[in-house]
Chain A
Amino acid sequence: MIELINLCKAFDDNVVLDNVNLTIKDGETVVIIGRSGTGKSVMLKHIIGLMKPDSGQVMIDGQDVTRLGGKELNELRLKFGMLFQGAALFDSLSVRDNVAFNLLEHRKMDDDSIDRRVAECLELVGLKGIEGLKPSELSGGMRKRVGLARAICMDPKIILYDEPTTGVDPIMADAVNDLIKGLQSKLKTTAIAVTHDMTSAYKIADRIAMLYKGKIVESGTPEQIKNTSNPIVKQFITGAAKGPITEDS
């Protein structure tokens, strides 16, 4: 279980997270929605320990990530897989070495076993026979899928998705959504995705939470979010130009 307890983070005067409280149960897929720059990615980075909060806690299976460092934090991170917004593939490595990065760095496996595992992961994301290519030779959608293959290579317990459909065309976005949905049912992992793409959110989420002005203003199933009476959430999900969000900013 993942628990964010009174999480606060500010950059100078800009308060990004203001006493955020959120609980994510094992096996649940939670999508955090919100406008660009509201702190969704910052929240993800706190969960995986890339950022330290000003105050508050991030509890993962009873361990406070904010208090961990060095070896303990790295051991915890091995339970995670993370898909970055731009995939963040290592340019200098081939697709095979990108996907197998954790196996090469943290597991003593022979080359054949690594190759088999890489092929399995690439097949899961619908890519075959591209092990020898460099990231610069891949399209945006392929990079996302290779990033996803890297994220699942170590059979993580928790997967974090940072804007999984940003930067890819609508057809590829839907394919990525299907992929995420398929992985969730196949691997039974806990997943947290941040996005402002509502089509994606409705498709992959068990629960949607909206982050606005540093706080979670609404949380519920996709159906509950669709039928919300909260004017802020309503404006965001309908994409209306006029409403409380634009009036406030």
Chain B
Amino acid sequence: MSGWITHLGERFMSFLHYAGGITVLAVRTVFWTFMPPFKRKPILEQMVKVGIDSLPIVFLTCLFTGMVLALQSAYQMQKMEAKLYIASLVALSLTRELGPVLTALVVAGRVGASIAAELGTMKVTEQIDALETLATNPIKYLVVPRFIALFFMLPLLTIYGDIVGILGGYMIGVWRLNILSNLYWDMTWNPLKVKDIVTGLVKSFAFAVVICIVACYEGMRVEGGAEGVGAATTKAVVISFILIIAADCLFTALFYFGFSF
């Protein structure tokens, strides 16, 4: 019994240690974001890696999701003679929920893993120590450009994903279910309000912070060589996934109960 309690206590302490570490890194990152010097080049490089290079995978994921959403809803909608509403369903599901979440999950898998592996390798090969000996703050040099890039690129990718997903729904709705093109567009844009897009974007800003901080934290505390890098990469992706879903739930509840959206 006492062993079980000790184990539970150890797990709790390790959770607190992890949560504390993540929080400290997040606060330091925000602090160093506003501290000079401000260099454009590393941020632009990261924006390309995070944003431009993610376009194909976000395109495929959101296109197929939009198509599947239209096809799945067609089952029920056709029975109720309401297949016109497929357009609204696809648009609202994507902008409010699926667009931000799926884009964030894809980026967490692609970019988060790459950040954790890159920083982890730098840690085990003493490159992060070398940065410090060269009088350079690793958070300012390594974390801040990735943070700014993710913070701006993830919402942009989300908007792009929303549009692509809606196009996917359009392809099924118009070409397969024979809904008139102008009717499909009307039923897409009419129910869509600015707040639907804004709630999705607010989520994606939060997801960007989660992906960056978790990946950088995991990368920068790697120990034990290649095995440690592999473990940190896996952990970064898994923890990001869990936190993205949890944050999504929290924000959805907040918007639903708190702001009567």
User: Which residues of chain A have a CB within 8 Å of any CB of chain B?
Assistant: 45, 48-50, 74-75, 77-78, 80, 82, 84-86, 88-91, 101-102, 105-106, 150
For A78, A86, A101, A105, which residue has the most chain B Cβ atoms within 10 angstroms? A105
3 closest A-B pairs by beta carbon, nearest first, are A88-B130, A74-B135, A88-B126
A77 neighbours in B (Cβ, 8 Å): 132-135
A50 to B136, CA, bound (A): 12
Contact of B129 with A84 in the complex, beta carbons under 8 Å: yes
User: Which residues of chain B have a CB within 8 Å of any CB of chain A?
Assistant: 121-122, 125-127, 129-137
B135 to chain A, nearest CB (A): 4
11 CB < 8 A contacts A-B: A50-B132, A50-B133, A78-B135, A84-B129, A85-B126, A86-B126, A88-B130, A90-B127, A90-B131, A91-B127, A105-B136
A122 to B126, CA, bound (A): 22
Where chain B touches its partner, the secondary structure class is helix
A86 to B211, CA, bound (A): 30
A84 to B126, CA, bound (A): 8
9 new A-B contacts at CB < 8 Å, known A50-B129, A88-B129: A48-B133, A49-B132, A75-B135, A77-B133, A84-B130, A86-B126, A88-B126, A90-B130, A106-B135
A111 to chain B, nearest CB (A): 14
Q: Which residue of A lies closest to B42 (CB)?
A: A92
A106 to B133, CA, bound (A): 13
A170 to chain B, nearest CB (A): 24
Q: Which residue of A lies closest to B140 (CB)?
A: A105
Q: Which residue of A lies closest to B132 (CB)?
A: A50
A90 to B121, CA, bound (A): 11
B135 neighbours in A (Cβ, 8 Å): 74-75, 77-78, 102, 105-106
